[in-house]
Amino acid sequence: MNRREELEEHAREVGFDLVGVAPPTPPPAGPHFEAWLENGHHAGMGWLERNKERILDPRLTLPEAGSIIVLGLGHSRAPMELEGGGRVARYAAGRDYHNVMGRMLKKLARRLDTAGFAGPSRQIVDAGPLLERSHAAVAGLGFESKAANLLHPDFGPWFFLGELLIGEELEPTTAPAPGSCGTCTACLDACPTDALISPGVLDSARCISYQTIENRGPIPTELHESIGDWVFGCDICSEVCPWGRDAPDLSERFGLHDALKDRPLVSWLEDPIPFGERYQGSPLQRPKRAGLARNAAIVLGNRGGDEALGVLLRALSFDPDGLVRETAGHSLARSFGEDQATKQALEGAAEREDDERIAAELRAARARCDDVD
């Protein structure tokens, strides 16, 4: 058994499904990433621009790096639908993968240290300064797709990536993962907001996942209807991908978080339990309370119905966060704008609003009600 094979055995004993080794050199997709940044497709994710040099050179993160160990862990591909409507991206239904993967990487690092693998190490999960899909493709964990994600022959798109930079120089993985997108354009055709502007190029500003998770401000009203039922993230490009149809369902690995058990969507706007307590240990913490409530207001507006009307009217008048009041106003105008009570509620909310920008948005929402008539 050579050193790389020994590494692979340790990784699988820790619980990883996929493991490969890439050199700590600039990623092949670096020029594509730079062009993506220059075109502004990273939207509000300014940290990508600020950390560009580190992302393009792994040795700026760990100068002593001799190898990048890339690891994959499969997750659920079972749809996650809330009572009364609303969908959550599959990866976010259970325990926070950052925590799970982080613990596994630390365990692997300790095992390698005990086994005599030389040099320091650095663990990275998702948000670290590394162009991970490009390195993962070099390490044989999949191929980069037209949906700007990584596809594996067995797991399709339904797996997480994590990396361990180590000091020891190991023989890189030489066999790339088989497969390609070929002539398939299912992901580009299915995206409801046209966020995939060309094969492999994602405009984050139009992406439902970016808007419902990373964007902390108002979601552009022109995207509200296209968001449909997605209250956190979006799986559409993965759902339509042929490579994921036969992937194993590993729902039990991360379980179902209590925050999603027997809780209808309306409770995302009206919850007596403090946000931090409700969502502890869940990826759903990322947008914070205001972001989740904003998302719920959009989806309730898309679904309509008497219950949604009542919840949105209360949010418009009483929600403590201006972002939620603003979004509730736009949802009311879009779905209930013909109702005289809605018009009066919007007028009253605009008059009471202390924030002039939000007041202007509520007045604009009230004006759109006349277009509904």
Are 156 and 261 found together in one domain?
A: no
Instruction: Identify residue 372 by its one-letter amino acid code.
Output: V
Are 158 and 274 found together in one domain?
A: no
Are 266 and 162 found together in one domain?
A: no
Of 166, 194, 217, the last residue of a domain is 166
Of 151, 166, 181, the last residue of a domain is 166
Residue 252 placed within a domain: no
Instruction: Identify residue 49 by its one-letter amino acid code.
Output: E
Are 9 and 155 found together in one domain?
A: yes
Kindly give the pairing relationship between strand 87-88 and strand 230-232: parallel
Are 154 and 278 found together in one domain?
A: no
Q: What predicted TM-score, i.e. pTM, was given to this entire model?
A: 0.95
Say whether 126 is catalytic: yes
Of 139, 166, 193, the last residue of a domain is 166
Question: Which structure tokens are listed for 28?
Answer: 């092949």
Residue 220 placed within a domain: no
- One digit per residue, pLDDT tens: the chain, 373 residues? 689 999 999 999 999 999 999 999 999 999 999 999 999 999 999 999 999 999 999 999 999 999 999 999 999 988 999 988 999 999 999 999 999 999 999 999 999 999 999 889 999 998 789 999 999 999 999 999 999 999 999 999 999 999 999 999 999 998 778 899 999 999 999 999 999 999 999 999 999 999 999 999 999 999 999 999 999 999 999 999 999 999 998 989 999 999 999 999 999 999 999 999 999 999 999 999 999 999 999 999 999 999 999 999 999 999 999 999 999 999 999 999 999 999 999 999 999 999 999 999 999 999 999 876 5
Are 158 and 262 found together in one domain?
A: no
What is the C-alpha to C-alpha distance for residues 270 and 263, in angstroms, rounded to an integer? Answer: 11
Phi, psi of 349 (to 5 degrees): -65, -40
Number of domains in the chain: 2
Question: Which structure tokens are listed for 250?
Answer: 């590993």
Q: Which of 57, 126, 271, 339 is catalytic?
A: 126
Residue 240 placed within a domain: no
What is the C-alpha to C-alpha distance for residues 222 and 334, in angstroms, rounded to an integer? Answer: 11
Contact 294, 323 (CB under 8 A): yes
pLDDT in tens, 201-227: 999 999 999 999 999 999 999 999 999
Q: What is the pLDDT of residue 174?
A: 84
Query: Which residue range(s) make up the domain with 17?
Result: 3-77+94-166
Residue 180 placed within a domain: no
